[in-house]
Structure 1
Amino acid sequence: MATEVDPEQQNATPQSGGRRIFGYKIPRHSAPMVQIVIVGFILFLNPGMYNALAGLGGAGQVDATAQNNAGIALHTTFAVIGFVVGIAHNYLGTKWTMAIGGIGYCVYSAAFLCYNHTRNEGFVIFSGALLGFCASFLWCAQGVVMMSYPTESQRGRAISITWFLFNLGAVIGAAVSLGQNWSVKAGHVTDGTYVGFIVLEAAGALLCCFLTPSEKIIRSDGTKVQRVVHPGLKSDIVGLYTTLVSDPWVLLLFPMFFASNYFYTYQFNDVNAYYFSTRTRAFNNIFYWITQIIGALAFGAFLDWTRFSRRARALMSWGILFTLVMAIWGGGFAFLQKTNRAVKGPGMDLFDTDYVWYLFLYMSYGLLDSLWQVFCYYTMGAMSNDPRKLAYYAGFYKSIQAVGATTISKLDAEKVAFGVNFGTSWGLMAGGLVIALPLYLWRLHNTEVTDEDFVEGKSVEATGRIPITIGEHKSDGISVVSNKGAL
């Protein structure tokens, strides 16, 4: 049956219109991709700056003990809150969930500024716990936006955009840190470094107020972002359990989730902080995050490459990741032989002979990290289009991720041998991929779109009054309504 898009419906949809400036259409503020970009800038200003600080090793301190203890508080709190924060999101909505999430980052940076002068480790640990609480809110809301707002054909692109902006924040934060500490070859970073982080992170918290509620958003293909109904706290708690029972395949992803932040402590503290001078740590940090940007953009484009089916792309991506895990960590084993926690690091400077090879290894770690994170989000998004379910998935992801980060922070605080942190990081990544393989072979379909995903009787195009044919299309045994049978 052919029908025509109603002009009133067209004007009511966020992405169907927008002002034209010099002949170019400017998308509405509530268009899905605009909202994704806003979320990307929130990540730029909050966790991006946190990563720039963490990437210095020890949060810019000479001794990483205070940062490790704050990390234990941070990730322990995150692990607990992360499992239930999806429930809070279902009541508060994406906008206010993310706004709560933005508060803790500037307090964390302020605690290290205070530590420079007072050595008040208690405040640092408290700030870590506060950040763990807040960050669980922010990352839950971010996961829902990134996985549920774009169409299935644009999901990889949306993930890569947010990851690009997130890591761009870390790049710029690291560049600011390098400028502040160029003349510093030993010691903690300057006060100005922490002040810069505090200002930018406070701006990120304010930016959360510019998000649009999910229920007001309709995608460019005419599908709506499903509105979450709040039946009650008890039902939501049961829903958390039901998500695991109804789709137990997600359990196979838990080892990947556990590994996804585990390796940071080894890379930041036991490689960057241990082996290099203060300014070289900042220099390494810039290129670590630049490589993440490149990796996220390239991998996101590949995951949206329609030449292959979605399932085929997922399986090829699994193969790429497994190959890189073995190659990069295999190369890191040679570096491990040059390190010993019982011996002070050499303080290698960026002008030293052979430094470029060490930089290349560090950049390779960054590349692998970006691909790993993008692939985890893409997998969760491929398993459902329901924002409520995705909120639970995101909560599982960040909570289990935090358990992994807590574990290695504790190991590093207890000064275990570098080989322990290295070996467990490598083993968890390789093992996590192997355990998850059955999910990619037998659970992942080419689509999760259902009849309920479409605006009733219509499909909204981004421009003009276009006749739309509404018909039935079969994909992997799932009946869906689509535009001329094209997903």
Structure 2
Amino acid sequence: MADLKSKDLPPHEIHEGSIQPSPTNVTDIAHGVDMDHYRATVPLWKRVWQHSLTQMMLLSVQAFCGPAMSDAITGLGGGGLATPQVSNITNAITYAMLAIFCFFGGPIVNKLGVKWALVIGAATFPIQGSAYYCNSKFGNQWYLIFSGAISGIGTACWYVAEAGAIMTLAPSGARGKYLALWIVSRNLGQLVGGAINLSKNHLKGADGGVTPDTYLAFVIIECIALPFALLITPFERVVRSDGTKIVTAETLSTKMELRRIVKTMTSKLVMFSALWALWSFFYGGTWSTYLGTYFSVRARALSSLISPFFCIVGCFGLGFILDMKHLSQRRRAQIGLWTVVILNVGVYIWSIIMQAKFDHHNPGHIDWEDGLYPSSFLPYFFRADDRAVVPVLHVLAYLILCNGCSGSIEAVGQAIAYGMNTQTTSNPMVGFCVTFGLLAAALGPMIMLVNTTPDRIPADIIAEQQDAAREKIESV
């Protein structure tokens, strides 16, 4: 499904390679539905199925069963394995494939269609959980590493399709509600995953990795995503709650789409935000190694439960800042940027000090009953709290760029971070220092980008144009 290209928006405000429609003229958006005729001729079950909210709920269930469960496994530190090495190798491969396929995500999804891209992605979700189970139960490492490649490809298809679908399904007056539903499903899924981790691994004295039964619970939940993906209806049949339909444009040739992707990737906006996107998801490998190296099984299980809870708190906190109506949009973005930067500088200084102490004296596996637990875990806690709000600061880039661009760069950061920690003797200190340096390098371009934040984002302009065109049609 290709984008509609606006004649009224500047070229850099057009989403290349995504599925989000940007209709800006009467011809494009005059695809309203005669609701009286629609109700009289279409059965109730079909109207419910084709409703935009129903489709959003189907997407949210998939987010709960797939990415949220994957995050819960990652939150165990080293995937919950006895040593983080193989998990880091697997994640490095996963994110490398994710980066490649997110880059080409637009053309791939346009050829497959949103539904089948989601189906392919959902079908690969259980592979990760089953691979961790086989490794934990039978020591089968080749399957775990192989699963990284398959999961990366499938998840990339799912992410690109999902990202555009979320922006496309929502009626102009309910984007916030639809987005909130998605955020709740992701974080609720991580909370459920964390609860599973803790319930299976709460006894003191357990050494090595988490119990194999933990992964079986994840596999069961991950399998549920596929039937919900199959229930997705083609988006041209979806009817929004305001009586409008999703408008699709003709599909571009693969050659033309690739040209536009290259043009977008070399644009000023991408160049300025690339380091920030790379840094914002660079933390995974280092913190996963830190947890897996220095914390007991049940302490790692506890972290997978409480981290997503405070992710929600952090997200709403920054959301409050970004929604302060008495400040200009640019000022809100500036405050949000410096909030995250100051928090992260403190976290990095703290974590480097703690790692220096651990290099001098290895603490073994820290349990939540140990006196060292609060000071050693709090850096991870604050970084986990912050990871939910970092992407908010480049949400404008998501609105302006293709869905795959930022996702591809972020996945590159994750791949490098996990790749740095693939050695058993890997020292988290290296990762902390490199991540700190990336933040310093990314800050200058990001300040310049935030300082040029427009008063109105393209989504608001499009919504106003849709409303104006609708009023014009009704007046005829």
Is the TM-score greater than 0.5?
A: yes
Q: 1:211 aligns with which of 210, 217, 232?
A: 232
Q: 3-state SS of the aligned residue for 1:143?
A: helix
Q: 3-state SS of the aligned residue for 2:166?
A: helix
**Structure 1 Cα separation of the partners of residues 31 and 465 of structure 2:** 19
Structure 2 gaps, min length 5: 1-29
Aligned-residue offset at 1:364: 1.0
Where in structure 2 are the equivalents of 1:44-443 lying within 5 Å?
44-150=64-170, 155=175, 158-183=178-203, 185-217=206-238, 225-244=246-265, 247-270=267-290, 272-340=291-359, 344-376=362-394, 378-383=395-400, 393-414=402-423, 415-442=425-452
1:222–1:459 Cα contact (<8 Å) kept:
no
Q: 1:39 to 1:234 in 2, by over 3 A?
A: same
Identity of aligned residues (%): 22
Structure number with the higher helix fraction is: 2
Q: 1:29 to 1:398 in 2, by over 3 A?
A: same
Aligned-residue offset at 1:83: 0.7
Q: Which amino acid in structure 1 is aligned with residue 138 of structure 2?
A: T
**Structure 2 Cα separation of the partners of residues 313 and 213 of structure 1:** 38
Which TM-score applies when normalising by structure 1?
0.80
**2:10 — aligned with what?**
none
**Structure 2 Cα separation of the partners of residues 436 and 328 of structure 1:** 20
**Structure 1 Cα separation of the partners of residues 208 and 57 of structure 2:** 37
Q: 1:220 to 1:166 in 2, by over 3 A?
A: same
Q: 1:379 to 1:157 in 2, by over 3 A?
A: farther
Deviations 1:36-77 (A, max 9, x none): 443232111111111111111121111111111112221221
2:200–2:211 Cα contact (<8 Å) kept:
yes
Aligned-residue offset at 1:96: 1.9
Aligned-residue offset at 1:366: 1.2
Q: 3-state SS of the aligned residue for 1:339?
A: helix
**1:473 — aligned with what?**
none
Q: 1:434 to 1:150 in 2, by over 3 A?
A: farther
Q: 3-state SS of the aligned residue for 1:337?
A: helix
**Structure 2 Cα separation of the partners of residues 328 and 222 of structure 1:** 48
Structure 1 gaps, min length 5: 20-26, 384-389, 461-466, 471-487
**Structure 1 Cα separation of the partners of residues 48 and 333 of structure 2:** 32
**Structure 2 Cα separation of the partners of residues 287 and 420 of structure 1:** 26
Which TM-score applies when normalising by structure 2?
0.82
1:38 correspondence with 2:38: no
Q: Which amino acid in structure 2 is aligned with residue 352 of structure 1?
A: D
For these two proteins, the number of residue pairs brought into alignment is 439
Q: Which amino acid in structure 1 is aligned with residue 466 of structure 2?
A: F
Q: Which amino acid in structure 1 is aligned with residue 416 of structure 2?
A: T
Aligned-residue offset at 1:223: 7.2
Q: 1:43 to 1:450 in 2, by over 3 A?
A: closer
Aligned-residue offset at 1:153: 7.1
1:185–1:277 Cα contact (<8 Å) kept:
yes
Q: Which moved more, 1:85-94 or 1:45-54?
A: 85-94
Aligned-residue offset at 1:226: 4.5
Task: Let me know the Cα RMSD of the aligned residues.
Answer: 3.3
**1:458 — aligned with what?**
470
